[in-house]
Amino acid sequence: MLNIFLARHQLSNYNIMKNYKSNYNTSFFALVLILLCYLAISCKNSATKSEDQVEINADSIKPQATLDDQFDKLLIKDSGGVTGADGVISFPLNNGKSVFMMGDSFVSEVIDNKRDPESKMINNTFIEVDLRTGESKSIIGGNLQNPETMLLPVNAEMTKEYYWPGHGFQNDNVIHVFMSKFWNDPTITSGWNFKFKGTDYIRLEPDTYRVISQNKFAATDVNGVHYGHSVLKDDDYTYIYGSKVNETIAELHVIRSTVDSLSNSLTNFEIFDGKNWINDATKTAGLKGIKKNVPEQFSVFKYENYYVLVMEERELAGNIYSYISNSPSGPWRNEKLLFEPTESNNKKDEIITYNAMAHAQYIKDNKLLVSYCVNSMHPPNIHNIDVEYYRPRFFWVPMDLILSE
């Protein structure tokens, strides 16, 4: 049963662990998603250029971003809810709030900027944020004394599978979310033992977050695209984006759907094959114009008459870029460097950054709110040295920088 806690602070630690206590056997969400790239291909820093790309050195463009030191304090606090986490994937609710889907999370109290290293890690949590009141609310399973993961795969106790968050949206009285399913292979005794098992599409009640339906998203099994990491509602269609490793590059793919008016569920799926929308999921094609390898986590949203893609390079401690398009299926253009995270300069504590996400519902004064996750390759550091090593960072970037050509 889900219990909702008012959280003045929020989600904390993601664990990047191989052999650090049994709590961390699942390895942490975002790092795993990044490592999917390294396991599947020898990731290059940039994707193969397509014929219609314009040669622009985005790294020569000086970013105009400004740090935000307040939003993370609203989202993550020291007690009363999630005190450390990654993921940080948001979408607006119909009641004026937003929900942030978090990955591996901690709810243990933080004292003097430290947390008990034996704290239990749970694989996913949600956080509701209301900027009007300046309050946040953590949504977890169990309770603060005995926290449990919020959403579990069907038969998880038997299969030992678990979820990390994708993205979602609300349509009328139903919340729709995508969750990535993983499993730890006990036969792998060294290195990373996680395995991606597929994507599930889940419908939830908006007030209680009770599961209405929970089904496998079949297209992932058909074509291997890791769908559900960004969802865009535009006119009559819902566009569901994902990434797929194809030999030496990782590309962006998209499938679209409509919402059935009676059941309030996604139906009538069509795949973009590079030219047209068709019914054959095996014919999916990578979207053109993106110069860099697409990560597992990214954001696609619409602003005015443009479609905007925000992503971090598919590597640890990568820079954060944007692209624009006149269509939800591309081609994408106008690569811009938005931000260069500096936390990874801390070599002593082995700090990394990853998982840049845009939060377009908060655009104000023509500026976009963007977050990225911070972690340590030495997991005890996020407890014993500084809990800020496992809390997200936020910055604002002018939309004019993204859109100007």
pLDDT, the chain, mean: 87
Closest CA to 249 of 311, 312, 293, 295: 293
In this predicted structure, the answer to whether residue 39 has a pLDDT above a threshold of 60 is no
What pLDDT score does 188 carry? 79
CA distance 97 to 7: 14
DSSP, residue by residue, 346-364: -TTTTEEEEEEEEEEEEEE
Average pLDDT of span 37-61: 44
Over residues 213-243, the pLDDT tens digits come to 999 999 999 999 999 999 999 999 999 999 9
What pLDDT score does 365 carry? 95
Q: Answer yes or no: are the C-beta atoms of 178 and 228 closer than 8 Å.
A: yes
CA distance 280 to 256: 12
Per-residue confidence at 348, pLDDT binned at 50, 70, 90?
very high
Task: Enter the pTM of the model.
Answer: 0.87
Per-residue confidence at 194, pLDDT binned at 50, 70, 90?
confident
Average pLDDT of span 131-141: 96
Per-residue confidence at 189, pLDDT binned at 50, 70, 90?
confident
| R_g of the chain, CA atoms, integer Å | 20
CATH number of 2-403: 2.115.10.20
In this predicted structure, the answer to whether residue 31 has a pLDDT above a threshold of 60 is no
DSSP, residue by residue, 234-281: ETTEEEEEEEEEETTEEEEEEEEEEE-TTT-SEEEEEEE-SSSEES-G
The answer to whether the peptide bond before residue 331 is cis (omega within 30 degrees of 0) is yes
- Tell which wins on pLDDT, 187 or 305: 305
